[in-house]
Structure 1
Amino acid sequence: MIKCIIIEDEPLARDLLTRYIQSTDGLQLLGSAEDAEEARQQINSNKPDLIFLDIKLPDISGINFYKSLIHKPKVIFTTAYSEFAVEGFELEAVDYLLKPFGYERFLAAVNKLKTQLESDIDDIIIIKEDKKSYRVKLSSILFIESLGDYVKYHTHEKPYLATDTLKSLASSLPSNFLRIHKSYIVCLDHIEYLEGNRLKVNDQMLPVGYAYRESVSRLFKK
């Protein structure tokens, strides 16, 4: 079930979205807000998966409001002003509904979100640290470091330490992960450049082992 919040100051538009959400399988409406302050409280309290966000709010633009959120749910922007569409998509919005929109267009946006969420499931790895199990996005992993009987996952958010070996991990990770050293596996998506026998990944320079130099060099050939 996708939990939703409507952020819209126009009563008619708010009522329309409410009807659409309540008529759609897989959606649950948690509440609605008319301004940014109320919206922030709703988001912090209810932790929605999705917000329908009007770009023209009374006290702030919806785009600036969304930028200000620390933990950002998925967003579908709604507005009568098409000139904001490009900036909305730059924020990785699911979709952009131009008022007035019908149920068919609304449903197309929701189905786009469902497709994204299905893809997100394939991007999840379970990491067990101490007695806790974490759901971590594979795309957030910068590189994995071997530390004896443990491996350290370096991610955008925080490091995770788990009991495992690089050898066992290498066969279970997708093809955009490459072993570059006896102590390192890197995510190809986060490599910045190759300098000599070192790779720049995020803010760290990682060594490329002799046995892995040919496979690494192939990455930089046209």
Structure 2
Amino acid sequence: MKLRCIAVDDEKFALDLLADNISQIPYLELIATCKNALEAAVVLRREKIDLLFIDIQMPGLSGLQFVRSLLPKPLIIFITAYENFALDAFNADAIDYLVKPVTSERFLQATNKALLFSSYHNPINIHREADFIFVNVEYNIVKIVLSEVLYIEGAKDYIKIQLQQNRTMLTKVTMKSMEELLPAAKFIRIHRSYIVNIAAIEVIKKDSIMLTGNRIELPVSDGYKGNISYLTGR
């Protein structure tokens, strides 16, 4: 599955950079680039668009005004040089708000969120249960199949994704961002530094859990014991 998207920005350099970022994401298909909202409106009437990347401050109709006028709306990600429009953007049903300059990690985080939103809201989407995500690993964008993940460990600015068969991947993203990407029905936070695949849990102890396979034991901190209680119904 690919998300069909358009990019809208009145600055050519910013538009070219956005198009290049989109081209590097395997699940995005760039249908058109537009210099203003009116050009974007023409494309939206002509094409089925899943995701709209749009600037806010543009001549004529602003990005916010344009998005508010859309019914129905595609998924919306605002990309702007201004921080002070974030509340207005989310009130206009944006799924994310990126402030220029945008790092590749932050861009990937936003597009992963779009993929998940699309998965959950499209009843004919074969990936509706969010069975994979994409992450940056050593300057490559790598697909991670969620059923192969045992646990995720936070380490300063990076996280370690521990997979089956003793495979490990490191990616530069925060634990909070990763937790938001993962489906809550499949993953649970047990510690400030650990998120685990519920299907991999074999034994639940008072202050730790044991995972299947090579019998990995991970701590459960007091602040997250409520998650375990919810899981066990106790």
- The alpha-carbon deviation at position 58 of structure 1 amounts to 0.9
Runs of 4+ in 1 over 2 A off after TM superposition: 121-124
Q: Does 1:63 find its partner at 2:64?
A: yes
Distance 1:122 1:36, change over 3 A: closer
SS in structure 1 at match of 2:93? coil
Normalised to the residue count of structure 1, the TM-score between the two structures is 0.53
SS in structure 1 at match of 2:119? helix
- The alpha-carbon deviation at position 39 of structure 1 amounts to 1.1
Distance 1:122 1:70, change over 3 A: closer
- Quote the residue 1:93 is aligned against: 94
* Count of aligned positions: 124
What is the alpha-carbon root mean square deviation over aligned residues?
A: 1.6
Gaps of 5+ in 1: 125-222
- The alpha-carbon deviation at position 71 of structure 1 amounts to 2.4
- The alpha-carbon deviation at position 102 of structure 1 amounts to 1.5
Q: Does 1:53 find its partner at 2:48?
A: no
- Quote the residue 1:114 is aligned against: 115
- The alpha-carbon deviation at position 90 of structure 1 amounts to 1.1
- The alpha-carbon deviation at position 28 of structure 1 amounts to 0.2
Q: Counterpart amino acid of 2:100?
A: K
- The alpha-carbon deviation at position 122 of structure 1 amounts to 5.9
- Quote the residue 1:104 is aligned against: 105
- Quote the residue 2:84 is aligned against: 83
Gaps of 5+ in 2: 126-234
- Quote the residue 1:72 is aligned against: 73
Q: Percent identity?
A: 40
In 1, Cα distance between equivalents of 2:65 and 2:26 = 31
In 1, Cα distance between equivalents of 2:66 and 2:117 = 23
- Quote the residue 1:25 is aligned against: 26
In 1, Cα distance between equivalents of 2:46 and 2:112 = 26
- The alpha-carbon deviation at position 81 of structure 1 amounts to 0.7
- The alpha-carbon deviation at position 123 of structure 1 amounts to 9.9
User: Which protein is bigger by CA-based radius of gyration?
Assistant: 1
- Quote the residue 1:41 is aligned against: 42
In 2, Cα distance between equivalents of 1:54 and 1:36 = 9
In 1, Cα distance between equivalents of 2:3 and 2:36 = 22
In 2, Cα distance between equivalents of 1:80 and 1:56 = 9
SS in structure 2 at match of 1:92? coil
1:94-114, Cα deviation, whole Å (9 max, x unpaired): 100101111111100001111
Q: Counterpart amino acid of 1:104?
A: E
In 1, Cα distance between equivalents of 2:31 and 2:7 = 9
- Quote the residue 2:206 is aligned against: none
In 2, Cα distance between equivalents of 1:40 and 1:101 = 25
In 1, Cα distance between equivalents of 2:33 and 2:54 = 10
In 2, Cα distance between equivalents of 1:16 and 1:94 = 21
In 2, Cα distance between equivalents of 1:30 and 1:115 = 20
In 2, Cα distance between equivalents of 1:34 and 1:117 = 26
